[in-house]
Structure 1
């Protein structure tokens, strides 16, 4: 009886580890996508600021 209880506990732990690993992989993908998006947004903001400065400099030129 204790052998089958130990086997059942091992099976439950293995399944739980598999579920946690799957969740961690999905979360990692989402974090990587979000990090990429934030990088692109920061680059776009920087580009817009640079374009605004150039436009302001051109407007100040007589």
Structure 2
């Protein structure tokens, strides 16, 4: 693939990706229960991020 075509397609794909996630974060962050319990939401996000690493490690230990 030519570099110029790649850059154009990369920008075309990046703009909607950014808009969806920034917009989603904005609307999700304005939900009252999320606003009131933001620290719990952050802890949940961190735990969910660590889970894919922990699951194979735990499976390996149980064998």
TM-score by length of 1: 0.47
Give 1 or 2: higher helix fraction. Answer: 1
Structure showing greater Rg: 1
